[in-house]
Structure 1
């Protein structure tokens, strides 16, 4: 059932277009339940975490497809960096547009709350996609991967890759206050203690979502931790930086690298052996489901508060059989 659903979403992605950062607008077609119910505001706003990142492009693709099917207009915007100081003005400016709903991946689980509350107070429904606020009273629905389980899956995968060998493992998180990656890191560390007592975490280090910083953290860990046997990178940029650090140190394949996400560059790196495994999300389903929940909220239908999207572990041996989980660079 899962495979069929994912393939169906993948087929729908070919119908939409544009990249995040182009402020693309998906125009509605046909009638919708909103029109039948007398609701004339069918404007949806999607504000994702950062421009032109394959995860968010794939999420946008799924959202555009669902919005068009429901007869709603969807406009997508994003900051240049995964930074609350850059995302906050985008959200504040939406007050002038008064959308029917705001779908958002908040870049900080505390500091984005005032801007999101402001849009909610103007009558818009708030739907969180990918990331979420600590304050659960703001959003009507939150759709994301089960990030704790994703971290657990990464630890189980690391245990298989190291095959009973003892050693230390480094965890790379992005920024403090990012709900998704924090859950992945914690899930990984907790599960590592259960699944691989032969492996010891040397702690969580932050990369500021910059590949260059991640590379530096890895090379420093190799120098300071002679028994380093694995690295778990909790997001795309940290993973790409970690791969660079391992290449620079001549440790590719010797230190097992488990990344999160499945961008085109990560997929190629998995194929070449720079990564030993990837924990892939299903961003298109997150975007599609987010729009569906937004429409339900606008039209007074039942809304589900928390929804988990699927996750899957990819290795070089099985990656082609799971190609539907590879992320897009355009719709």
Structure 2
């Protein structure tokens, strides 16, 4: 081949490379096709809401495990537990192209399409705490056995009220997989007690003030109200306020879910009679393990459920390891 033809061939090849780079290439951490690179060591955690001790504890466990495995974990959470606030965060993470995402979807249906876009981009997705109805999207889902937690709450509340009287459930938002499972487990279990009347569940929209109003209204409508089960932190704090406002603190027994510092204080001072605690740090650790297994081509577990524990004032000192954190 003569020199002129060699120069033309090299020039054409260079032009092709530049064209490919311009069309497909772009962000650090991506292949030319826009998918995460094999050596991408970035993970993202998308909790359900910012600043909540449960999710902070999860973050601590996830960051610890990610560091051990040689990954960097970033965290982005919405100001409220709302799909409309979480979807833009998912879209932002999609543009950043981490290799894997751990997410607590704030709605079991509305987050389906955004999460599918993550997997279509080659990003491994693991659900932590909450999950979609569509079980085909995530590689793995790690959560507490929430139905079991609801059953444990029913057993605990039944004992506290002497197995008689009316009981109410205050749930957060309809369509939240975890709290719906807790309410379902509670309802199933409480019906085993013939002298307890289950008056149903009401939704607080995750607002403590609404939970307080619900309790106040229920006390007025149900003179023999003996107990309340609040399915999450905000509902529990609001229910406690409602009982204080009605001068029913301690008289109407309250079982809460989770073990944030405020809830632990409430248990200690008598605002709450029992807490059903989860293991959020363990959920975070296992979430990272599952997403890294998926990235390494190792086997993953589709569904992992962690156990819960009931804590009362009498045994709280022996169960301190279940208390949630406010910082890592």
TM-score, normalization: structure 1? 0.87
Secondary structure of 1:229's aligned partner: strand
Question: 1:151-230 maps to which residues of 2 (within 5 A)?
Answer: 151-164=150-163, 166-194=164-192, 196-230=193-227
Moved over 3 A (4+): none
The aligned residue for residue 20 of structure 1 is: none
Preserved contact between residue 151 and residue 187 of structure 1 (Cα < 8 Å): yes
CA distance in 1: counterparts of 2:144 and 2:182, whole angstroms: 10
The aligned residue for residue 29 of structure 2 is: none
TM-superposed deviation, 1:76? 0.4
Deviations 1:307-331 (A, max 9, x none): 1112000000001100000000001
Secondary structure of 1:46's aligned partner: strand
The aligned residue for residue 81 of structure 1 is: 80
Match of residue 300, structure 1, among 286, 291, 297: 297
Preserved contact between residue 131 and residue 178 of structure 1 (Cα < 8 Å): yes
The aligned residue for residue 96 of structure 2 is: 97
Question: 1:26-45 maps to which residues of 2 (within 5 A)?
Answer: 39-45=38-44
CA distance in 2: counterparts of 1:75 and 1:309, whole angstroms: 24
Give ranges in structure 2 of 5+ residues lacking alignment: 1-36
TM-superposed deviation, 1:39? 2.9
TM-score, normalization: structure 2? 0.88
| C-alpha RMSD of matched pairs (Å) | 0.8
TM-superposed deviation, 1:167? 1.1
CA distance in 1: counterparts of 2:227 and 2:162, whole angstroms: 12
Deviations 1:16-43 (A, max 9, x none): xxxxxxxxxxxxxxxxxxxxxx930111
Preserved contact between residue 169 and residue 228 of structure 1 (Cα < 8 Å): yes
Preserved contact between residue 39 and residue 299 of structure 1 (Cα < 8 Å): no
TM-superposed deviation, 1:96? 1.4
The aligned residue for residue 21 of structure 1 is: none
Preserved contact between residue 59 and residue 284 of structure 1 (Cα < 8 Å): yes
The aligned residue for residue 23 of structure 1 is: none
Secondary structure of 1:74's aligned partner: strand
Match of residue 264, structure 2, among 252, 256, 267: 267
The aligned residue for residue 144 of structure 1 is: 143
Deviations 1:274-331 (A, max 9, x none): 1000000000000000000000000000100111112000000001100000000001
Secondary structure of 1:44's aligned partner: strand
TM-superposed deviation, 1:93? 1.2
> Is the deviation greater in 88-97 or in 244-253?
88-97
CA distance in 2: counterparts of 1:101 and 1:177, whole angstroms: 25
Secondary structure of 1:278's aligned partner: strand
Structure of higher CA gyration radius: 2
TM-superposed deviation, 1:151? 0.1
Secondary structure of 2:131's aligned partner: coil
The aligned residue for residue 27 of structure 2 is: none
Q: Does 2:69 match 1:70?
A: yes
The aligned residue for residue 320 of structure 2 is: 323
The aligned residue for residue 121 of structure 2 is: 122
CA distance in 1: counterparts of 2:312 and 2:169, whole angstroms: 19
